């Protein structure tokens, strides 16, 4: 993908549906009887989720309602009817961690695998947690990398469990969903710091739709009463994704623009923090109902940003820091080493190829105002890094981004949408 300087971004776009809500709605609906999901996201990760839930026994078909895409889900009522012995989670860490205990609801020995960088990501937290429930489960090596073997007698015991939340919140989301179908009341105790807390909020929100109430004591203790069955309360409507919209908002703040993004409701998504961050940097974001309007560009200033709850924003925040007066410090990001790429080192490496003054440690990124120029960069098969580099290129011009197909992991229409707004791609 070759990107030239873009003189103007203008237009109205509906934000792509939330990937986090789509994942959870599909999985929880598969545990239920019959339900419908309106406006789900169709990307590599959610397509992998649909496929895996079908292999667990759910019937999932696509339809349209009032010109909006829908998924009609016939669930397996908490008792999977597994189709085969091997299951592939694609490249989705969320899907992998959530599906492991659900496979244990069926008797037998099964193998869970994945693709790409997911095969090298650590899974010790979820494997050790499930072992404490008495499950026979193990992966490769001390970190329990893929493939993972689940050998189950067909039920989840539940009960009190202490887990680490320092590397990923996906373990906690997995346990909360599985606990709804456990034999005993479950208490999940976080023994250290819980990162990415808003993703747990999204899980709790989706479980509430299925009739499961969770007591949350300051993100330190969660209590879940099991239910004999889940029952969805009407249709599940998926709204726009702030994680994906962040790239569009950032682009509109850097170049001349008149951009409106729609379907961005105020829900549990942590990445809606991008609005406040941009405002702190000097941008003006106007909300009217569920729409956000930006008329850029703005003279941005560098700020300090705690990213412990918003890891997906780090690549685009690093780009914004390159064009902000002074310096920007992105901290509490040590858990980003374990994403699709090392999201601490790789943004620093690739932006520095364009002239960025950017330094990193294991825990933070320090970005100074820079004059970016053309060059050749790689996203390292990381969808969010690819989109962030594209935004930087709109301002710098003359940038070739290699292997941009990885954006299909979360936002397949990203480049098409950018072209609709006038991006010179």
86 and 132 assigned to the same domain: yes
Number of structural domains (the chain) is 2
Closest CA to 55 of 113, 7, 10: 113
Domain's final residue, options 175, 192, 224: 224
221 DSSP β-pair partners = 189, 217
Q: Tell me, what CATH number does 121's domain have?
A: 3.65.10.10
- Segment 129-175, tens digit of pLDDT: 999 999 999 999 999 999 999 999 988 999 999 999 888 899 999 99
Q: Going by DSSP bridges, is the β-strand pair 375-377/399-401 parallel, antiparallel, or unpaired?
A: parallel
- The candidate with the shortest Cα–Cα distance to 238, out of 210, 202, 270, 214, is 202
Do 219 and 295 reside in the same domain of the chain? Answer: no
Residue 231 lies in a domain: no
Contact 420, 252 (CB under 8 A): no
Domain presence at residue 234:
no
* Structure confidence at residue 329 (pLDDT): 98
Cβ contacts of residue 288 below 8 Å, gap of 6+?
none
**Same domain flag for 247 and 123:** no
289 and 206, same structural domain? no
Compute mean pLDDT per 10 residues along the chain, 425 residues long, and list them: 97 98 96 93 98 97 94 93 93 95 94 94 93 94 96 91 90 95 94 93 95 94 84 90 98 98 97 98 98 98 96 97 98 88 94 98 96 97 97 97 96 98 97
Q: What is the pLDDT of residue 233?
A: 76
Last residue within a domain, chosen from 193, 224, 255:
224
Q: What pLDDT does residue 228 have?
A: 67
Residue 235 resides in a domain: no
Same-domain pairing of 75 and 172 = yes
Domain membership flag for residue 230? no
Kindly give, in sequence order, each residue whose CB lies less than 8 Å from that of residue 139, ignoring residues fewer than 6 positions away: 123, 127, 145, 146, 147, 148, 149
Residues 248 and 213 in one domain: no
Phi, psi of 182 (to 5 degrees): -75, 165
Spatial distance between the Cα atoms of 33 and 31, rounded to a whole number of angstroms: 7
Range of the domain at 182: 19-224
∠ Cα 361 382 328 (to 5°): 40
**Catalytic residue IDs:** 312
Residues 11 and 30 in one domain: no
Secondary structure tally for the chain: helices H, strands E: 12, 23
Decide: 100 and 124 in contact? Cβ < 8 Å.
no
Distance, CA of 208 to CA of 74 (rounded, Å): 19
173 and 269 both lie in a single domain = no
Residues 394 and 255 sit within 8 Å (Cβ to Cβ)? yes
Q: What is the pLDDT of residues 244-299, one digit of tens each?
A: 999 999 999 999 999 999 999 999 999 999 999 999 999 999 999 999 999 999 99
């Amino acid at each position: 993908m070759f990107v030239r300087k873009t003189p103007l971004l203008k237009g109205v776009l509906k934000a792509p549906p939330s990937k986090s809500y789509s994942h959870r709605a599909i999985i929880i609906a598969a545990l239920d009887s019959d339900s419908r999901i309106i406006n789900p996201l169709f990307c590599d990760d959610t397509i992998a989720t649909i496929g895996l839930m079908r292999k667990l026994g759910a019937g999932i078909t696509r339809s349209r309602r009032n010109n909006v895409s829908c998924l009609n889900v016939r669930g397996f009522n908490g008792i999977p009817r597994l189709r085969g012995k091997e299951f592939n989670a694609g490249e989705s860490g969320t899907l992998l961690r959530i599906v492991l205990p659900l496979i244990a609801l069926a008797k037998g020995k099964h193998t869970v695998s994945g693709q790409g960088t997911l095969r090298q990501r650590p899974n010790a937290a979820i494997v050790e947690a499930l072992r404490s429930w008495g499950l026979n489960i193990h992966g490769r090596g001390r970190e329990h990398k893929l493939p993972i073997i689940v050998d189950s007698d067909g039920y989840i015991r539940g009960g009190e469990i202490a887990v680490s939340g320092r590397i990923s919140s996906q373990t906690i989301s997995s346990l909360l969903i599985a606990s709804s179908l456990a034999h005993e009341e479950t208490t999940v105790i976080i023994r250290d710091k819980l990162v990415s807390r808003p993703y747990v909020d999204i899980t709790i929100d989706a479980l509430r739709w299925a009739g499961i109430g969770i007591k949350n004591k300051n993100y330190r203790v969660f209590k879940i009463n099991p239910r004999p069955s889940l029952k969805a309360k009407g249709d599940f409507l998926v709204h726009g994704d702030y994680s994906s919209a962040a790239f569009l908002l950032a682009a509109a703040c850097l170049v001349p623009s008149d951009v409106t993004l729609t379907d961005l409701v105020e829900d549990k998504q942590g990445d809606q923090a991008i609005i406040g961050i941009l405002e702190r940097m000097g941008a003006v974001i106007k909300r009217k109902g569920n729409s956000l309007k930006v008329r850029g560009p703005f003279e941005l200033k560098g700020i300090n940003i705690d990213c412990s709850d918003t890891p997906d924003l780090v690549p685009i925040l690093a780009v914004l820091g390159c064009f902000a007066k002074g310096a920007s410090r992105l901290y509490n990001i040590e858990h980003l080493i374990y994403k699709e790429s090392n999201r601490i080192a790789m943004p620093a490496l690739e932006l520095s190829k364009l002239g960025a003054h950017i330094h990193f440690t294991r825990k933070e990124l320090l970005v100074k105002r820079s004059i970016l120029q053309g060059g050749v960069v790689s996203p390292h098969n990381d969808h969010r890094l690819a989109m962030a580099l594209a935004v930087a290129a709109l301002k710098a011009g003359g940038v070739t981004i290699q292997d941009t197909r990885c954006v299909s992991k979360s936002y397949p229409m990203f480049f098409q949408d950018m072209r609709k707004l006038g991006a010179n791609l």
